[in-house]
Structure 1
C-alpha cells in the first residue's frame, strides 16, 4: 500500500490487527474445545470456551501480535500528524499568514 493515502493505510492496518485478534480467539477456543473433547467432555459449552479464549487471548495477543500492533499504531500516528499539520496550515491561512513559511 502506498503512503499517499494514510487514512486508507490506517483502516487496513487496524482491520488486519482486529482480524488477527479475532482469529487468535477462535484458535484458542478451538484448542480449548479440542482439549475438552480429548478429556472426554463431549458437551463442553461453546460460550464457556469463548470466554476462556478471550481471557487467554488478551495477554497472548499482546505478545504474539506486537508487530501488527506497532504497525497500526504507526499508521494512527501518521494520520494524527497529517491532521495536525493540516490544522496548523488552516489556522495560518485564517490568520492571513502564508502557511508555507510557517
Structure 2
C-alpha cells in the first residue's frame, strides 16, 4: 500500500470519528434540553415534587423520534462517513486477496 492510501484511510477514519462524535453529542444535548424543559414546565404548572428521573425518562422517549427528524443531516453525514470507510476497507481487502492469489491487481484510482 502506498503512503497516500494510508493517509486517505486515516483522514477518512478521522472524519468518521468526528461525524459520529458530533451526532452522539447532539443526541445527548437533545435529551438534556428536553429533560430541562419537561422538569421546568412541570414546576411552572405547579407540580413542586416532580422527580428529575421522570423528566429524564420522558425526555429519552421523546428524543428518539425527535432526534431522527431534527438531526437528520448529522445522521446522514455520519452514515456517509461509515459507508466511505467500509468501501475503502472492502477495496483494500479485495486487493490483498488478489495479491495473495498471485493476481497482480492494480489499485483503482479514487
TM-score of the superposition, structure 2-length normalised?
Answer: 0.86
Unaligned runs of 5+ residues in structure 1 are: none
Does residue 31 of structure 1 match 2:56?
no
Aligned partners of 1:86, 1:32: CA distance in 2, in Å?
A: 49
Task: Give the one of 60, 68, 87 matched to 2:74.
Answer: 68
Task: Give the one of 2, 21, 35 matched to 2:27.
Answer: 21
Aligned partners of 1:11, 1:101: CA distance in 2, in Å?
A: 26
Offset at 1:69?
A: 0.2
Aligned partners of 2:98, 2:36: CA distance in 1, in Å?
A: 56
Unaligned runs of 5+ residues in structure 2 are: 1-6
Spell out, residue by residue over 1:56-88, the C-alpha distance to the aligned partner (whole angstroms, 9 max, x if none). 010000000000000000000000000000000
Aligned partners of 2:34 and 2:59 also within 8 Å: yes
Q: State the SS of the aligned residue for 2:50.
A: coil
Instruction: Give the alignment of 1:1-102 within 5 angstroms.
Output: 4=8, 5-100=11-106
| Number of positions where the alignment pairs a residue of Structure 1 with one of Structure 2 | 100
Q: State the SS of the aligned residue for 2:106.
A: helix
Aligned partners of 1:42, 1:86: CA distance in 2, in Å?
A: 60
TM-score of the superposition, structure 1-length normalised?
Answer: 0.93
